[in-house]
Amino acid sequence: MTVTTTGMSFALQGLRQALDSLSEPGASLGSWRWSVRQQMAGVRDALLAEAEHAGEGWLVARKGSVLRERTMLLTRLSALGTPVLESDEVDAVRAELDRLLVDLGRHAQRLHDLAYDEVELELGGSE
């Protein structure tokens, strides 16, 4: 699995900034909704950019787990698209996006760990 860590980090940072922009003085709900929706598209693109390829031995199961997790995150992200633009419960939508952002951060860390383990396996580790 090839990791585009810069793209994911940038996308997560953009979504965090968009979510936080609602509390800025003079912030418009309409522009907040649009900005968050655009940043969600960036996160979706970063998730989809995670390239898949066959793995070696003990990493195969972990790669499968990361791919399943990515699918669940994409599903959650997609389900929030319409509520971001239309829901009257803005605080609830924002809270759900905050939870999703935490889970996306954990996913990104798992990708970092997997990439590290792949390199360690190729180089022979510390033994």
pLDDT of residue 77: 97
Higher pLDDT, 117 or 31: 31
Helix H or strand E segment including 2:
none
pLDDT(1) > 70: no
* pTM listed for this prediction: 0.81
pLDDT of residue 3: 45
Contact 53, 1 (CB under 8 A): yes
The CATH number that applies at residue 53 is 1.20.120
pLDDT tens, 20-78? 998 888 889 999 999 999 999 999 999 998 765 545 555 666 778 888 999 999 999 99
Contact 14, 39 (CB under 8 A): yes
Of the listed ranges 15-19, 82-86, 109-113, 119-123, the least confidently predicted one is 119-123
The number of domains in the chain is 1
Contact 20, 36 (CB under 8 A): no
Instruction: Residue 87: give the domain boundaries.
Output: 5-123
Q: How many Å apart are CA 47 and CA 7, to the nearest integer?
A: 9
pLDDT of residue 92: 96
Cα→Cα distances 116→12, 43, 94, Å: 21, 22, 33
pLDDT of residue 2: 46
pLDDT of residue 83: 97
pLDDT of residue 24: 85
pLDDT tens, 74-115? 999 999 999 999 999 999 999 999 999 999 999 999 888 887
pLDDT of residue 28: 93
Helix H or strand E segment including 127:
none
